[in-house]
Amino acid sequence: MMAPGGELDRLRAIVRAFVDERDWDQFHTPKNLASALTVEAAELLEHFQWLRHGGADELGEAKLRAVRHEMADVLVYLVRLADKLDVDLLAAVEEKMVLNRAKYPADKVRGDARKYHEYKDGE
């Protein structure tokens, strides 16, 4: 469940209306939505394949528009999956950030891209 009146609620309502107009809820099992989300994320990644850095200037206007559309697809499936599983995405992010702060203490990992298990206390 998402906070009343929030932008995520608005997105959820937009997606629900689209799905309801097409009678697609029957196909939107959590497994199918997670699969579709993965496919869309791969389609997003495809636009960056072989680019040096993938910045907006390197993408160009047409590719940036396509990337924007793929990002929207990823978000739509994520919002739909959260809706089906009654997950408050904002609360989930807040909870995960608490865990990430403990796993990646800023004073120990600032400027270091290694995973948490690759650094030791005192390094």
* The model's pTM: 0.85
Topology given in CATH for the domain delimited by 7-110: Helix Hairpins (1.10.287)
Cα-Cα-Cα-Cα torsion 37, 39, 41, 47, nearest 10 degrees, comes to -150
pLDDT in tens, 52-96: 999 999 999 999 999 999 999 999 999 999 999 999 999 999 999
> Pick from 72, 74, 80: which is nearest to 27 by CA?
80
- What whole-number distance in Å separates Cα of residue 101 and Cα of residue 45? 27
At residue 117 the predicted structure's pLDDT band, cuts being 50, 70 and 90, is confident
pLDDT of residue 5: 53
Q: Map out the domains of the chain as residue ranges.
A: 7-110
